[in-house]
Amino acid sequence: MFLMTVVGNLGITFLIVTDTHLHSPMYFFLGNLAFIDFWYSTGITPKMLIDLVTEEKSISYTGCVCQMYFFVALGSTESFLLAAMSYDRYVAICIPLLYLRYMTRMKCLQLLCGSYVAGFLHSLIQTCSIFHLSFCGSHYIRHFFCDIPPLMKLSCSDTTNNEFILSIFATLVTVTSIFAIVVSYTSILRAVFRSNSAKGRSKAFSTCGSHFICVILFYSTVLFMYVRPSSVYSLEQDRIVSLIYTLVIPMLNPLIYSLRNQEIKLALRRTKVFHVFKKRTNILC
């Protein structure tokens, strides 16, 4: 699964960078989503795989800080990026004649940089909040990686303020992003159902379908993990759910976009790697 994640996300990033037919705002955001998914999973999975096959399962204090910081930062950035992608789809479908005017290169860069700045700033707040706690008892983390809930359970300090900070900022990040996505898709649905063209409606649903599936997968797990009362946390249950958003979702995203997107398929066929593979397959056959 991790190899599929690496190949899928780096493959989409490579296609979008090298194929001039994909140099548009939609694929600019998609390429960055794939790039984030690659690092998002890479920050967790290799260490987890090593722990599964070794007797000594340990991580240094500095390593734990770094792992948690980049995990939260990249997850938050992806949340904002999904909202930016929904805005791009809104402009493309609802006001197509002004698309190039609104979605300029500078505007795309501003949305991307804003996602990174907001995501990494949110992570800095959460990381500083967690690692100001005292860990004076057991240092055994009942989790696959350094995440916020298991570290709060491990602390011997009063975590009331940390739970408040986690709840407020996690809610702020997710609600802001989900609000932007809901507003965008509400406008898109209105525009689609007002259209008299069956072909236009089919194209609009095809364009937005992949993004909407990724949004559902991502936010359903995030809301379950972080935007809920601390009294209902279950570390055993959370460990299973964490595998979904650290391994399964980054693996599924490139599959969802590539299988449902004709332009990605065409770009793949135009690559030299595809032609070499096809030629060797024909020779073997």
pLDDT single digits (tens) 114-134: 999 999 999 999 999 999 888
In the predicted structure, residue 34 carries a pLDDT above the cut 70: yes
For the whole model, what pTM was predicted? 0.86
In the predicted structure, residue 279 carries a pLDDT above the cut 60: no
pLDDT tens digit sequence for 206-231? 667 777 888 888 888 777 766 665 55
Count the residues in the chain: 285
* Token pair belonging to 167: 């709840």
- CA dist 6 and 34 (Å) reads 9
| Domains in the chain: ranges and CATH | 2-284 (1.20.1070.10)
pLDDT band at 248 (very low <50, low <70, confident <90, very high): confident
152-165 burial string, b = 16+ CB within 10 Å, else e?
Answer: bebbeeebeebbeb
pLDDT tens digit sequence for 155-167? 888 888 888 888 8
